[in-house]
Each structure stands twice: as structure tokens, then as C-alpha cells.
Chain A
Amino acid sequence: MAQGGSGSGASIEFAGVHKRYDAVDVIRNLSLEIRDGEFMVFVGPSGCGKSTALRMIAGLESISQGQLSIAGRVVNDLPPKERDVAMVFQSYALYPHMTVRENVAFGLKVRKMPAAEIETRVAEASRMLGLEPYLDRKPKALSGGQRQRVALGRALVRQPAVFLFDEPLSNLDAKLRTGMRAEIGKLQKRLGTTSVYVTHDQTEAMTMGDRIAVLAPLAEAGESNLMQCGTPLELYDRPQNVFVARFIGAPSMVVFEAGRDGSALSHPAFKAPAVIPARWTPPAGDRVLVGARPEHVRPLLGGSARAQAQGLVVRGEVEIVETLGHEVLVHMDIGGGTILIGKSFTHATLPAPGDVVEAEVDLERLHLFDPATQQRLAEGV
């Protein structure tokens, strides 16, 4: 299927966008550019405004302040049908009284497209999505996955400048979700249409997005809902604040407060003070927030391992042991926080709750944040 009709150059730009319901701010000062052909994922917890932002692009929500542009054209006051965008809803939102064929063709019929062209596009989309056997069925005779395919097909035939996806997979079971995730990703790459995808599932965000915009509820975010925007690896490797550090990655990064004296970090659970790598610019105060991902925390099993440890050694009591099959997660209480050890244990070395264990944290992979601003400390190269 050819790329969007009027869809060339369909970048999207939020410029200082606010959304208020009565006197309550839901979105504040959102500034973000989504490039032409990009797959952008909005991710965040409930109430962060990700769906509202998407609905503002669709034209289903008004913009209280600021400017929203699609393909360089300000669309603040344009009705949805003049924005050349198609949307896939979380709940499918199919027309129950129409067959699959009529559902898919409806948007084209509304636009008064010639019948032959409608037929061609419907045939093409249904072939692409495997909907051919179901074209004459009503939505109630389809499974959840098939319904979501119809919803996709309905967006696809329009060949719009922008695709909007509002948590389209959250109603599907885990297996179907994985399959559809790959299908949507492949389709988007193939069509090259600018897409904005909303999800609260960070696995979806990490696997699908060219870039991810992490949004936070205003109560946590402060001046703007947008906490960070970047490629999946940028967010994972260099989270710009504690919110993103904790939100991206499963299991989450552990962030705890430590004392600072010059470049030395101290904490009751540390076996010895640790020296912050030189690339970090220390914060102003004598406290610092330290973040560590479980995969960068290694258990020290046996005397020789402990003797050879070069990094930051922490000691604490095991709280819970989670066996996931491919790895074991050990939650270790370090007084005022819990650190996760994500390395593989053997059956023989698996600790039990209550055991006191030692673990080595890779100092080079630590993340440091300013306790006052919650922002990542400046780093040299």
C-alpha cells in the first residue's frame, strides 16, 4: 500500500501545549517534535496525559494553550477530518451494525471515494492484515485479535499522513499482543507513515518506538509532563531524571540516597566508601541519589569473589527471592532501600530470605541524581 496521500512531510510539533479541564491542568507546557515517518511512543503511568496528548493530535480534544502543528500547518482549530490522521482505539471502536468490509470502507465512503478505488484499497488492506475470510462478518462474530485487525485496516485504507494508536493492544492476551506488536511495527516501517503510539507498557514502548516520550502526571512532573524524549537505549542508559530511571526498565532501577564527601559515596550498607568516577560533576549538597540496574549488581558468592571485588560492595539481608527461570531476582534490604541483584544464581548458591549477602555494584554503570532537583548529574564524556 502506498504511503499517505497528503502525508508527505507529516511531522508533528507540540509547542508549549497546555490542556486544562475547568481549572485543572492535565498537560502543561508540552513541547515536542515528532519527525516525519517516525514511530513515536508516548509512555507513562495513568494520568500522565499521554492519551490526552494523542487525542489533541486527533482533534478529539481542544488545546487550551500553545500550538500544535501537523506537517507545518497549525491545526489547533482544525476539525479531525481536515487533519488527515487516522486513529486506532484501545477498545477497537468498530461499527457493530456494519460488516468488516463496511467498517473498513466507511472512512473512504465518507470521503466520497469512487467505489472501484474503495474496493481496491479494502482488498489490499484486508489481504495485508489477513482479514479476507471475515469481510462479510459483523464485529461480534470476530475474536479480539481479529477486531483489532479490522480497526487497523480501517486506519490503513485511509492512507493518512499520521497514524495514532491509543493503547491498541492492551485488550489482547499476552501471546496475541506480542504478535500484533511485531505486525504493527513491521507495517509502520513498510509504510513509513508518521505514527504516534500511546501505551503504559514499557516493553511495548521499548520494542516498537524509534523514540519514546516519557510523560509523568503533573503532581510528579512539575513544570512539564514531558520527562524525557529519546531513543529506547538513550532512555535506558542515560535517564535524565529519577522518574525516567525508575519507569524505564523491568525490573526497575533501584534509586537510593547516599552521603557524599568530595567524590566519596557513603552509605551504612556500603562495605567501604566508594569513589564516584571522575566523569561525574558532584552535586552541591552532601547527599546524592544513586541508581543501579539489577543487571549491574553482581552477587559476591564465596570468599575469593569478595576478595577480588573492585567496585562498590554492598551488604544486606535478603528480603525476597523471585525465580523467573532465565534469571533470579534477589531483593536485598540495604536499610532505607532495596537493591535488586539480577545475576544468575545456581541452585546451590541461591540465597534464602533472611540470609545476609554481599553484592558488587558496577561503579561505571551507576546513575547519579541530584536529590533536590531529581535530575541526572552532569557527566563528562
Chain B
Amino acid sequence: MKGDSTVRAPWILHPILWIIIAVLLYPVMWVVALAFSGQQSLGLADLPANPTFLDRLRMVMPWPQSWSFANFVGVWTEQPFGRWLWNSIVVAGLTTVVGVAVACTAGYAFSRFRFAGRNAGMTLFLVTQMFPGTLMLIPLYAIVVDWLHLDNSVWGLVVVYSVTAVPFCVWMLKGYFDTIPTEIEESAIMDGCSPGRVFFEIVLPLAKPAVAVTALFSFMTAWNEFILAATFMEDDTRYTAPVGLRFFVSEFTAQWGYFAAGSLMVSIPVVILFLALQKFLVGGLTAGGVKG
């Protein structure tokens, strides 16, 4: 209907949405342009002596003067970037496996069983999320380095990242398990399933969306982390990619082109993982199981 606010609303919203998208994408586009520029300075264009408005506009446009893969090649040849990337994949992969395994079983237990300390445990998980990560640095260092002697080891980081990711994952999975009707599990018990079989064959397949999100969260917790990795890893062959990237921009050098190319390459595994897990991020998996 003409004049209907529900029809007019999108036209009003569109410019606002485009502005928000531009603001969000601008830094990413700048990184892409820098990576493909083949140069190391932050500026993508040179400003002439008497710049016109167009010259100034060109200065802020994320578009390189020429396109080149030189920065990508440089990243791989000048530093052991492949090694760092592999370290990141190992650390993040193991963190995901450990984090998801612990969070799934813990989340299920918190959802289904009633035991002493259940509510206190869930509250404690929440409380741990209220402290800034850097506050944990000293106690974690004491535990991982002094007690466990896992400094400079992939496992040290895996332990730290897993325990960091687990509280959020447990909360999320517990919430999802709560939505799976218990009758479905009872039905499996009547069919002769052991508790383990109920969990692996009935509950987990129904919780795929939550497990996928949990996996993604655990992976990204480990993948993007810098401070703990920089603290625990001393040997430069043990660095993870975020720690290694800092070598391109240090006190004495500022290879922004390499940094941007490295950053782009670091983001690729996360994008691949997201695309792989995307098919599980669907709702309604329990539809039809019980009367809705």
C-alpha cells in the first residue's frame, strides 16, 4: 500500500546499511590493497606538491597504484612464515579438539544431571569470563611454566587456550542441550542404548549447530591470540602466526606490506573452517522428534 511504513522502511534503511557496511569493510579493504600493493609504506598513493581534491581523495581510497604478489612472496621467503602458520594450525586444531571434547561432555552433564555444585560450577564459569585476559597472565605463567614445565611447547598453549575457551563453550552447549527433549534420550534408552551411545548417536548429532559454533569459537580463540603465545613461546620456530607477524612491524622496521599480506594469509584458514562448518549452522535439527 502507498504510504505504508513497512514498504517505505527499506528505502530509508538502505543508505544507513551501506554506510555501516562501508565503515566495516574499509579497514579490510585497506589491508587487501596494502597486501597487493607490493610496497611497505602505509600510504597507497603519493601526494603531489599542490594536491587537488581528487589527489586527496585518491590518498584515502584503498586501491594500490599497481597490483603485485611481491608482498606474499616476501612473507614466505624472508621469515619462516609457513612454520608459524603450521604452529598456529596445530595449536588451534588441538585446542578445538580438546575444547570441544571437554565442553560437550561438561555441557551435557550440566544440562542433564543434578549434582552437588552444579549451580556453583556454572556461576564460576561465568565469573571467569568477567576478568580481562591479561589479568590471568601471571597465574597462567606460574602454572604452565613453573609447575607444568610446558613453556615453549605447543601443549602449554593448548592447555591455556582450552581452559580459556571452555567456560563460554560449556554455557553455550548446556543451553543447547537443554533444548533437546529428554524423551528422545529416554526413547534411546528404551531402545537399549548405553548412556555413552545415547550421547554420541542421539544427542551429539542433534547438537551439531552448537558444536560447530563451539568449534569455531575454540579455533578462533587459539588462532587470534597473541599475548599468551608471545609470553610462553621463546624459540622463534615455535611462534604462532600472530606472534610471528609482529616481526614485520617492530621498533626498527615497519614492513606494512608484508604485515598485510601475512594477515590476509592468516585469515584464510578461519574462512575455510567457517565455510566448512557453515552447513551445520542451521536451526530446526530437532524438528519432528517430539510434538512441537
Contact = CB atoms under 8 A, between A and B. Distances in A.
Chains A and B form a bound pair? yes
Interface of A: 58-60, 80-81, 85-87, 89-97, 106-107, 110-111, 138-142, 144, 147, 154, 158, 171
26 contacts: A58-B190, A60-B186, A60-B189, A81-B189, A81-B191, A81-B192, A86-B190, A87-B187, A87-B190, A89-B187, A90-B183, A92-B289, A92-B291, A93-B184, A94-B184, A94-B187, A94-B289, A96-B285, A96-B287, A97-B205, A97-B206, A107-B191, A110-B192, A141-B288, A147-B288, A154-B191
Nearest to A171: B291
Given A95-B184, A140-B287, A154-B187, 15 more contacts: A58-B190, A86-B190, A89-B187, A90-B183, A91-B290, A93-B184, A93-B187, A94-B187, A94-B290, A96-B289, A107-B191, A139-B288, A139-B289, A144-B291, A147-B288
A90 B206 CA distance: 20
Contacts of B197: 110
A94 B183 CA distance: 9
Nearest to A164: B190
Interface of B: 181, 183-184, 186-193, 197, 202, 205-206, 284-291
Contact of B189 (A80, A91, A144): A80
B184 A90 contact: no
Given A95-B187, A95-B202, A110 B193 contact: yes
Nearest to A141: B288
Contacts of B289: 92-96, 139
A213 B285 CA distance: 39
B202 to A, nearest CB: 6
A144 B184 CA distance: 16
A95 B204 CA distance: 12
The 8 A-B pairs with the shortest beta carbon distances in the complex, nearest first, are: A140-B288, A139-B288, A107-B191, A96-B289, A91-B290, A93-B183, A93-B187, A81-B192
Nearest to A148: B291
Of the listed residues B181, B186, B190, B291, the one surrounded by the most CB atoms of chain A closer than 10 A to its CB is: B190
Contacts of B202: 95
Contacts of A138: 288
